[in-house]
Amino acid sequence: MANILVAATPVSGHHGPLLRIASHLSSAGHEVVFLGGARFADDVRAAGPGFRALPPEADYDDRDFSARFPERAGVPAGPAQTMWDVMHVFGDPTPHQHRALQEALAGFPATAVLYDNLFFGGVALSLGDAPDRRPATYSVGISPLGVESRDTAPHVLGLLPPVDDAQRAEYAAIAARMAEQRAPLVGHLRSCFAAAGVTLPEGPLGRTLTDSADFFLQLTVPGFEYPRSDQPTGVRFVGAIPIPATVGQEPPAWWPELERARAAGRRIVVTTQGTLANTDLDRLVVPTVRALADREDVLVVAATGRPDAAERVAAHLDAVPGNAIVAGFVPFADLLPLTDLLVTNGGYGGTQAALAHGVPLVVGGDSEDKPEVAARVEWIGSGVNLRTGDPSDDRLRAAVDTVLGTASYRERAAALAKEYAAHDALALIEGMVTDTGRH
């Protein structure tokens, strides 16, 4: 059995996959310690691993970003906000995360350390010592692979791969301009890593972050990611982390309505804005409910991920349509097998889960990594990319009609589901991190 330290940024979309990995490793008999946000302590202990809290300088509650990062609200969504997030949400905690990892390792001699790909304290640990003087390190890719490549567009813009030399030249010019614009970001990160006693190497940032760990475990299948002829050798596609099944819980009160709709041959359309960008439900969830209000052949499930779901949605609608269910937290492991279409803002984990169940998508998101997720959905032909985070009702209605009425979207999603089924992500990760040799 192995000693394994798992570390996660205190954001739900980062914490969740890392905790499911840690729980699997713990249930397999390995000694596991989880370093994460204090608000997740009870969940971690209930899942099996031991728990250590991040220091206050590296901890915050992602349910209220404005409390810790008040300036963020003034940064426009898109590349500017992504750059701000990398600098401050993920960059500033670097020395404190690094110190927390070292302190944890001093009392828990782990043979392997796993961390999400934006837990920069883990990157500092990987860079700070030669591989034979530290535990094996594994960065877990919980967002689209961001390594620069001659075969892809500049990352974060949501552009499809180049199709000819002219477009490659165009993208190269865009990348050069972006490099100039990112100079403050790189300089800021250098100071963050220097505060941890580590030098951030020269070269493209995405490649440095991917190459620093011994292995980079991307939580998807090759079919969802752009092919790169110059892909780093340490990248491994391990598949999607399965959504945990609900055990010992009663189904929601509205579940019989869902089953009746399925039995009657109605299509089930689920809409969600995930766990982070779900404060303003009038961006995607409410417009989807409104756009499909007259569709008798459809039942819409608004999965808001919020305890105040009814109040939030009611604030934007005169009344909830008769063909819609407004829900807070839903049992996605049970819901996705019954779903015909997911309308989503493009959260990485939720998109992987939908495709693993063969569910096609309509994607409309403009924050964090969501444009890149939407572009990949478009590229693989498993859904419609709305190319906006604020689609109109008409645009949503047309996109839903297109996906439900065109067999190729579901066929492509079904083909991807077979690829996901061929990857047992948790078993693959366990096999890698418990192997004492560096493969």
The DSSP annotation for 314-363 comes to: HTT-SS--TTEEEESS--HHHHGGG-SEEEE---HHHHHHHHHTT--EEE
Phi-psi region of 278 (alpha: psi -120 to 50; beta: other; left: phi over 0): alpha
Measure the CA–CA gap between 34 and 51, rounded to whole angstroms: 5
Give how far the C-alpha of residue 365 lies from the chain's centroid of Cα atoms, to the nearest Å: 13
Residue 214 phi, psi dihedral angles, 5° rounding: -65, -40
Task: Tell me what the mean pLDDT of segment 129-150 comes to.
Answer: 92
Measure the CA–CA gap between 323 and 257, rounded to whole angstroms: 10
Q: What pLDDT sits at residue 306?
A: 63
Q: How many helices (H) and strands (E) does the chain have?
A: 18, 13
Q: What is the DSSP string of 147-170?
A: ---TTSPPTTS-PPPP-SHHHHHH
Residue 152 phi, psi dihedral angles, 5° rounding: -130, 170
Within 13 Å and on the Cβ side, how many CA atoms surround 149? 17
Task: Tell me what the mean pLDDT of segment 279-303 comes to.
Answer: 89
Return the closest-CA partner of residue 301 out of 277, 329, 275: 329
Percent of the chain topping pLDDT 70: 96
- Confidence class of residue 309 from pLDDT cuts 50, 70 and 90? low
Residue 132 scores a pLDDT above 90? no
- Residue 325 pairs in a beta bridge with 301
Residue 275 scores a pLDDT above 70? no
Q: Which residue has tokens 């007259």?
A: 294
- Confidence class of residue 357 from pLDDT cuts 50, 70 and 90? very high
Task: Tell me what the mean pLDDT of segment 23-49 comes to.
Answer: 96
| Structural domains of the chain, with CATH | 3-239+423-433 (3.40.50.2000), 255-421 (3.40.50.2000)
Q: What pLDDT sits at residue 437?
A: 45
* pTM score over 0.95: no
Residue 246 scores a pLDDT above 90? no
